[in-house]
Structure 1
């Protein structure tokens, strides 16, 4: 038998690995090799000796399948299916093995250690710095680190803003000043200017603000004076203020082209600056005998006169007035009554229109209409009635008083006519006459005329003491 096997091996050489694999499926018991499948013995005893190369190829495939099964069984600890010697799958009674691909996706420990929790407490993963809400402590620098640099400890990192260039100054600062005219918050302007890194252009801020205020309203000029006073010492220095007003005096010939009253207005700004102590009292005296420009001389003379008048009781701190939205209601009513009295005395409707516009209270013009009609009711002649009608007609045509404000003024008189009639018995008759003429002149419409309150007159005879008239409301 041994000689036959040796002869077969010499005739058909087979690799040692294939032969070893073909016999590995057996179990070793006390040094003896026990073959689990009889088909291999039969093949060795007779079939391999007489079979062709196809049988050798099949034997190699079986050996490789058994070797692969042995490796998987070592991972699964004997669980799952096995292959027989013939290559048939033998179903086991245990659970089917898990594929290696699924094991790679399993986040549990493959070594069978641990409690099955995720790695790093759930803070791991690609591109993850740590769990949410975790606060990192400052890292201590190791002086023994090869990359350690002693100069890095004393290094301070700051955001560097380049200085604002002259060509971009006006385009950047002008919107800030114009927005300030709307909200009036000087702190916001100071914060915005501090972020710009003005550099040498810092002295241009007051001159730009004053030049914009020259073309604006009186309330905007008052806001500009307040802005200069608040910026002084924080954003602007004393030298910046002097340089800025020096530039304004030099540019007055050009400013007069757009604002004819620029010399007087600049003089008022200088006087207000001296009053707010952002300019020295000797600033005006330093120009004596050194000014050739007539406009600059007029501005300095105006400032000097205002400062002298201050000792006589003039309040320079309120020379521009206050915007309508910032004035108390009682003050506005007082100024409107004064305006009406001046108009009755002078009869100048253009001046009355200008004064009403300068109050800058278009939302409060109904009070002006109300005071004008009440003044007519309390007057004793036809002159006041005709002059007030002409003034209201002029204000209506120029759209200074809108239709809504005119209507509200008339309606307020309708509501208060009962109380007014206590002091003025003929108030109903005068109001009805005034309303009809207002309708004829086109000041009010039909609806507003029809809702005017009136009284019916009934003549009642007395007991000989005289006749009297009883008024009944419609």
Structure 2
């Protein structure tokens, strides 16, 4: 189209001033809105040729002319172009300026930085700086009216107020009860050292012993160990003596909650003397000065234990170790002794109490295992019936849980092949014991069906007189 327009212009020369157009944008569709009287060959924006061209052809050529101007103005490398201000720039291209001015733009020209304010927001005119920032060493002005000479060499320390009597029990009791769970004496010493007990230091042993009186034997052993470890780093020997003196005075009240408190406190005193946290003359210092019967009974118990220790008794083992702290072989021996005592006495209540005192509920499957093995090794029906009754009572009272009972039976099922080497009739006795256990409700049908049975040969031999054998081992 541009080539046709140029050819037509060569055929019909027109003056340069006649080619001037007032339309800059080139978007108009009606060229007849502007009439130039100086142009003779243009009527209503259409070019008229001298030849017999139609008006439609003249319109197409005018449209091609406008399109040619628009393309030349947009070309950045050739021709004339128009700037944003309307000025004609020849031969060069002018990049359009951004509508937003960059005079007040504070962003980095280099593309670096995170866009944060300078100096962390502490710089600028009329700004003293960041709060708490010191630019140089401050010297004390002695002419300052607020200057105090006594504060010049002052040392500041964190002061913990002493623990009051009303808050003592609420604060120390959770520490001792938590110690019964973890058994770490160092942690208790650190907690007590940070409390600033002050005059309440002598109350710690008496509170720990009073809590242990209502607890188990393993907790009493832990309390004796705690007192031995606290004496020195946290508590002094005088604090220990004052604390036990208070315990002896409070025995009439302690007996109301714990009837055996006098004997237990006497054992604590004997253990403390053995651990050298009380003087050896502590018990002898009360001779002739005791009026309370409970205090006298406690001191007599301590005296007897100390005399027995001279004969070889170990007082440090009087409470016994806790269930989780005992060796496995020791627990097995105690379980066997418990079962043998029950076979001799037949007292199921005493056997239940002894089993509870062992404090090993996670180890009750060993009790069930040893009981069944004792039945397999016995030769009479008496042992089988007695142990069935014992297991029935322990299962009904939930001393032995269903899981521990099941584990005890399963262990016997696994070891029955080895047991049969020493006890030839072990399979037969085990089947009888399992069937009776199921009939008494000790085990369920699923556990009964798991009982192993040995393959038997039923045949008639010449010496049996034609009688079919029921069992052959």
Tell me whether the two structures share a fold, i.e. TM-score over 0.5.
yes
Closer, same or farther: CA 94–463 of 1 in aligned 2, 3 Å: closer
Q: Per-residue displacement from partner, 1:144-171 (whole Å, max 9, x unpaired)?
A: 7866876556322211111111111111
**Alignment match, 2:216:** 217
- 3-state DSSP of counterpart to 1:124: helix
**Alignment match, 1:125:** 121
Worse overlay, 449-458 or 463-472: 463-472
Q: Per-residue displacement from partner, 1:267-295 (whole Å, max 9, x unpaired)?
A: 00000000111000000000000010000
**Alignment match, 2:271:** 272
**Alignment match, 1:372:** 371
- Does structure 2 conserve the Cα–Cα contact (< 8 Å) formed by 1:457 and 1:469? no
Closer, same or farther: CA 464–390 of 1 in aligned 2, 3 Å: closer
Deviation at 1:349, TM superposition (A): 1.1
**Alignment match, 2:346:** 347
**Alignment match, 1:294:** 293
**Alignment match, 1:338:** 337
Deviation at 1:352, TM superposition (A): 0.8
Closer, same or farther: CA 444–470 of 1 in aligned 2, 3 Å: closer
**Alignment match, 2:358:** 359
| Structure 2: stretches of 5+ with no match in the other structure | 1-82, 125-132
- 3-state DSSP of counterpart to 2:457: strand
**Alignment match, 2:106:** 106
* Count of aligned positions: 375
- 3-state DSSP of counterpart to 2:215: coil
Distance 1:235 1:200 in 2: 13
Closer, same or farther: CA 154–469 of 1 in aligned 2, 3 Å: farther
Distance 1:91 1:275 in 2: 113
Deviation at 1:124, TM superposition (A): 3.0
- Does structure 1 conserve the Cα–Cα contact (< 8 Å) formed by 2:263 and 2:301? yes
Q: Tell me the C-alpha RMSD between the 2 structures.
A: 3.6
Distance 1:254 1:268 in 2: 18
Deviation at 1:458, TM superposition (A): 2.2
Higher helix share: 1
- Does structure 2 conserve the Cα–Cα contact (< 8 Å) formed by 1:456 and 1:472? no
- Does structure 1 conserve the Cα–Cα contact (< 8 Å) formed by 2:458 and 2:472? no
Q: Per-residue displacement from partner, 1:311-369 (whole Å, max 9, x unpaired)?
A: 12211101111111111111111110111111111111111111100111101100000
Whether 2:389 is the aligned partner of 1:390: answer yes
How does the TM-score come out when normalised to structure 2? 0.71
Alignment of 1:79-228 (within 5 A): 103=103, 106=106, 123-126=119-122, 142=139, 154-228=153-227
Worse overlay, 153-162 or 456-465: 456-465
- Does structure 2 conserve the Cα–Cα contact (< 8 Å) formed by 1:456 and 1:471? no
Distance 1:127 1:392 in 2: 84
Distance 1:436 1:107 in 2: 90
Distance 1:373 1:138 in 2: 85
- 3-state DSSP of counterpart to 2:456: strand
Alignment of 1:314-325 (within 5 A): 314-325=313-324
Distance 1:415 1:338 in 2: 24
Closer, same or farther: CA 195–138 of 1 in aligned 2, 3 Å: farther
- 3-state DSSP of counterpart to 1:290: coil
Whether 2:423 is the aligned partner of 1:424: answer yes
Closer, same or farther: CA 292–453 of 1 in aligned 2, 3 Å: same
